[in-house]
Chains A and B, each alone.
Chain A
Amino acid sequence: MLKIEHAYWLIALFLAGAAWLNLRERRWSHAGFWLVLAALTAGGKYVLDATAAHHELPAQLAGVGVIALAALSPRMQRGQLVERDVSAREADARRLGHRLFGPAVLIPLVTLLVALFGAYIVIGGVRLFDPVRMTLAGLALACVIALVAALWVTRAKPAAGLAEGRRLLDTLGWAALLPLTLAALGGVFAATGVGAAVSDLVRMVIPVNSALACVIAYGLGMVLFTVIMGNAFAAFPVLTAGVGLPLLIHLHGANPAILGSLGMLTGYCGTLFTPMAANFNIVPVALLELPNQNDVIRAQWKTGAVLLVVNLALMYCLIFRF
């Protein structure tokens, strides 16, 4: 049975391979960075199982690993690694033509097929895919299939897979790690009571008897907290428990389904404004080799601002009416 855990091992293997290539070139910081990350990825299940069994040491070691990654991050300069020159690539492009699309399209296509039909593939009475996070396991499988296809189409040596993958990975550098670190911070904030303090702050500054003021406080609170946390999912329970439930639903009689739906979407507008939403706003900056960290945010914040106003208007018009 293919599980998400297998995908994590594959990631660890790739990261270790990248570390090894960096080690051979005496790029010590990069080698250490990817090696620690490989260990954390491969050992994740062990850490979580040990914690569930009230055994704290593995989790503490993982915490030390995270701090080591943070210490190495500033040394991960986006060094320009040698890429094949443009004329050789143009010549290949002319020779191979549309055949180059095949493997690239295989990544979304295989993922889609697994997501749609993975549940029905049974071999010898055993399901081929573990239902837990099946789409993500499908994505991992798709990447392997696409790599094999890419090597076959381009007649490149298998080692090219690692070398080229490592080139892109080093281009990403610390940006590859930021989404994970921020998500981890969300967990830490939740466990240390940051959320409760924020919602108390909101309730202290608004006139609670005005329905409009409560709508605006809830909506802008979702945006502000999403901007700080980089994630509307982290903001939603905090703001809805602190402002939405007591003030809008209980005091002013708002419809909870509409409030929840529009509240979350208002948070998503905040996601468009913040570098804290690293996997959406910072990772693409690195992937697309853009010069400024906020280039993607600059391209999308106006859409987000208009939608924020639309959401607040929809909320005020709908939640007290249905």
Chain B
Amino acid sequence: MTALLHWLPLLGVLVVVAGFALRFNPVPVVVAAGIVSGLAAGKSIGDILALIGNSFVSERALLLFVLTLPAIGVLERAGLREHVGNWIATLRGLTLSRLLMAYLAARQILAMLGLYDVAGHAQTVRPLLAPMAEGAAEKRGTPLNAQERNDVRAFSAATDNIGRFFGEDVFIALGAVLLIQGFYAQHGIELEPLQIALWALPTAIAAFVVHAIRTVLFARRLTGGASGSATPALRPEGGGKSGSC
């Protein structure tokens, strides 16, 4: 009976996996998983509600990115995305792969300095990097079709993630390194933050090399696809779909 109770909270994990697999809306799935694992652990409804409420409000810093939306919205209304695309088209040396690699390096270095909230999907990818990448990709002479446009945007977002993740762990004063140090200290092992941070460098370098190679291959595939394009256009005219960014 006690053995069963030990495993029972895993039902919450099962709810998450099943909910995502069945493509239900993720928010109710996640909340249901919390309730299920609370009930399985033998907590009362009141305790579960309080646990969910407290956990939720202690993480509200994750909503901060919405504050970028009004400024970005106003700029987009005045044609920011269109201007970025037009401007990149005039820069001769700036290819898609060079742009993404430069962003990756900058993002990693900033994250290593602890400045990982300076850039991000809301702060830099939507207003700047994605339109710049689309503009750079369209230098091949033909506009991107809807699928290619989506690929370029998704790859820009991926580049931001990889730059952040594999830079952040080298920074000593916040986040991951302090979590590792604190964990070991609780278990009687004293470590210097710098010891931990330095061992993240090999992976940081590997991350840059691997993703840079993938960037070059991705850019080559996009430009290679242009030669067989059925609809050559003299000038990109706002792209394949209306309201694109």
Contacts and interface: CB of A to CB of B under 8 A. Distances in A.
Contacts of A314: 202-203
A156 B10 contact: no
Interface of B: 6-7, 9-10, 12-13, 16-17, 20, 25-28, 30-34, 37-38, 40-41, 43, 46, 48-83, 86-87, 114-115, 117-119, 121-128, 130, 150-151, 153-158, 160-162, 164-166, 169, 176-177, 179-181, 183-184, 187, 189, 191, 195-197, 199-200, 202-203, 206-207, 210-211, 214, 238, 242-245
Nearest to B53: A62
A265 B71 contact: no
Closest 3 CB pairs of A and B: A164-B73, A93-B79, A62-B53
Contacts of B191: 256-257, 260
Contact of A184 (B34, B43, B130): B34
Given A84-B77, A96-B78, A136 B69 contact: no
Interface stretch (A22-30, A98-106, A118-126, A212-220): A98-106
Residue among B10, B50, B210 with most chain A CB within 10 A: B50
B41 A193 contact: yes
Contacts of B46: 56, 60
Given A66-B53, A188-B55, A191-B51, A104 B128 contact: yes
Interface in A276-312: 276, 278-285, 287-291, 295-296, 298-300, 302-303, 306-307, 310-311
B67 A11 contact: yes
Secondary structure type dominating chain A contacts:
helix
Given A14-B69, A296-B158, 12 more contacts: A8-B60, A63-B50, A70-B32, A89-B79, A90-B238, A105-B128, A108-B123, A115-B118, A183-B59, A228-B17, A236-B183, A264-B169
A185 B74 contact: no
A104 B80 contact: yes
A174 B27 contact: yes
Secondary structure type dominating chain B contacts:
helix
A100 to B, nearest CB: 5
Nearest to A255: B199
B102 to A, nearest CB: 15
Contact of A280 (B82, B127, B161): B161
Interface residues of A, number: 151
A160 B69 contact: no
Contacts of A272: 158, 161-162, 165
A268 interface: yes
Interface in A35-85: 37, 40-41, 43-44, 47-48, 51, 56, 58-67, 69-71, 73-74, 80, 83-84
Contact of A197 (B7, B56, B74, B79): B7
A127 interface: no
A165 to B, nearest CB: 3
